[in-house]
Amino acid sequence: MRVWKYLKKSKIIHDAFEVGVTVKLIDGILEIAGGVILIFISPASLNRWVIYFTQSELIEDPRDVAANFLLHLAHDFTVGAQVFGVVYLLAHGIIKIFLVVNLWEKKLWAYVTAIIFFLIFIAYQTYEYFLNQSVFMLTLTILDIFVVLLTWVEYERVKDETGTA
């Protein structure tokens, strides 16, 4: 119980929460930008760009992991994948920005809603990790777990401040 009281009053935990949601805001902005850019890139042009940018690296080292990964992604990029990517990135980004703005305004419903949405994102990212074993996806998931925990502690702190039970 003492630890919980300490966590709710800790400036470090509060600052970590602020940093976490700021990162989520930046991530949301980048996702929206990525979704908008994806609208204008055809699968064929993406494939040409990836070939152009990886060609010299593959001549030097045909087994280059990053270049081959990018080629594989570009090759598998279909119109269906493009539509999914646009919808996913735009929806994900808009939801994140909306939640962060409302968290900054200390709206109690936003904390619970953010935790639910972040848990849904974590579940999807975990699924993706097990499909692809992406270290990036694993790192993102671990960071999101910390953001959920920080959001929960911040929710309890704001609830105490406002006297809402």
The average confidence (pLDDT) of the chain is: 88
Please tell me the distance from the alpha carbon of residue 165 to that of residue 132, in angstroms, as a whole number: 43
Q: Is the pLDDT of residue 88 over 70?
A: yes
Question: Which pLDDT band holds residue 113 (cuts at 50, 70, 90)?
Answer: very high
pLDDT of residue 1: 61
Question: Among 86, 85, 154, which residue's Cα sits nearest to residue 118?
Answer: 154
> pLDDT per residue over 146-161, tens digit each?
999 999 999 998 988 8
Average pLDDT over residues 47-71: 88
Please tell me the distance from the alpha carbon of residue 93 to that of residue 116, in angstroms, as a whole number: 16
- Residues comprising the chain, all counted: 165
- Per-domain residue ranges for the chain? 14-162
Predicted TM-score (pTM) above 0.85: no
Contact between residue 29 and residue 101 where contact means Cβ atoms under 8 Å apart: no
pLDDT of residue 117: 93
